[in-house]
Amino acid sequence: GDFIGVVGDKKAERIMAAFKEAAGLHVPELKVVTYRTPARGFLVPETRFSDHAPFWDAGYPAVMITDTAMFRNPNYHTPFDTSETLSADFMAQVAEALIHTVGGLTLPSSVPSR
């Protein structure tokens, strides 16, 4: 894919912005698309397709970092969903952006509150 998506609700705006900023500074070739979903994702159910949704429901800021799964990879969750169908370079770019995001958010003044 040519972008990574970062999906969050209103409480996660700070995390989404931090990821986009970290990617821009440390992995400028990685295109980041952020999407703020309304109503904790209930209006767009696809935004709840991962482990972040229970955190939204409990009132915590959380994001889903996604390559859009089955919307981009027809092999998603099939026997053909193998490492050969994935891009190691793209995964490395996302991981690097995530490392810098978490590093930045763990500074005492940056930790999001509930």
35-68 pLDDT, tens digit each: 999 999 999 999 998 999 999 999 999 999 998 8
Q: Can you give the pLDDT at residue 102? A: 94
SS3 54: helix
CB 33 within 8 A of CB 97: no
What is residue 68's predicted lDDT score, i.e. its pLDDT?
Answer: 86
Residue 16 within any structural domain of the chain: no
Domain containing residue 35:
24-59+87-102
Query: For the purposes of burial, counting CB atoms within 10 Å of the CB of 31, is it exposed (0-12), middle (13-18) or buried (19 or more)?
Result: middle
Does residue 19 carry a pLDDT above 70? Answer: yes
pTM listed for this prediction? 0.85
Separation CA 48–CA 1 (nearest Å): 21
Domain membership flag for residue 39: yes
Backbone angles phi, psi at 61, to 5 degrees: -70, 135
80, part of any domain: no
Q: Give the pLDDT confidence score for residue 99 in this predicted structure.
A: 96
* 92 located within any domain: yes
> 10 — alpha (psi -120 to 50), left (phi > 0) or beta?
alpha
State the pLDDT confidence band at 86, using cuts at 50, 70 and 90. Answer: confident
- Number of domains, the chain: 1
In this predicted structure, the answer to whether residue 90 has a pLDDT above a threshold of 70 is yes
